[in-house]
Amino acid sequence: MGTLENREFLVQLAKAKMPFGKYKDYHLVDIPEPYYVWFRQKGFPKGKLGQQLEAMYEIKVNGLENLIRNIRNQMR
């Protein structure tokens, strides 16, 4: 992925909301880390959502949520 694609992925990640389940309609960044750990153990779904959830897992376990929140705040 090039720089432009990475930037677009992060912008989309900042906007993304969970489409189902316990955290339906929550922004992905606002979902608690244990939920991502559970998904990691169970297996992430296929497709774009799975890629976003897996990326958010990495962001959460590395304490980088503020990066995504800052991007979201800049879009307002």
pLDDT tens digits, 1-44? 677 788 899 999 999 999 999 999 999 999 999 999 999 999 99
Q: What percent of the chain has pLDDT over 70?
A: 99
User: What DSSP character marks residue 44?
Assistant: P
Give the largest Cα separation in the chain, rounded: 34
Cβ-contact 62, 36 below 8 angstroms: no
Distance CA 59, CA 3 (A): 18
User: What value, to the nearest 5°, has the Cα angle with vertex 14 and ends 12 and 15?
Assistant: 65
Q: Which residues pair with 27 in a beta bridge?
A: 17
pTM of the model: 0.89
Query: Which pLDDT score is estimated for 22?
Result: 93
